[in-house]
Amino acid sequence: MGSFSIWHWLIVLAVVLLLFGGGGKIPKLMKDMGTGINAFKKGLKEEKASPEAKDAEAARLERGEVSASAERKETVGS
């Protein structure tokens, strides 16, 4: 019980190789998970938007008015 056996060292070696020698697999996995969470949150926000707001936005687009979000994108992009 006082010393590590060969199995303990193999497990430690496997964990170290996975964390540091994985070729960026863990950061890639975390990035993908973050992207999925953000997409999920965006979907929830869009779902919660009221039908009246969607109808008002559609009416503004039919009249040729620019939405507030499009105006923000134009000012940021220039």
Query: In tens digits, what is the pLDDT along the chain, a chain of 78 residues?
Result: 568 889 999 999 888 887 777 667 777 878 999 999 999 998 888 777 656 666 777 777 777 766 555 555 555 555
Q: For residue 67, what pLDDT is reported?
A: 56
Q: For residue 9, what pLDDT is reported?
A: 92
Helices (H) and strands (E) in the chain, counts: 4, 0
The structure tokens listed for 32 are 């993908």
Q: For residue 75, what pLDDT is reported?
A: 56
Q: For residue 61, what pLDDT is reported?
A: 77
Q: For residue 69, what pLDDT is reported?
A: 56
Closest CA to 67 of 77, 54, 48: 54
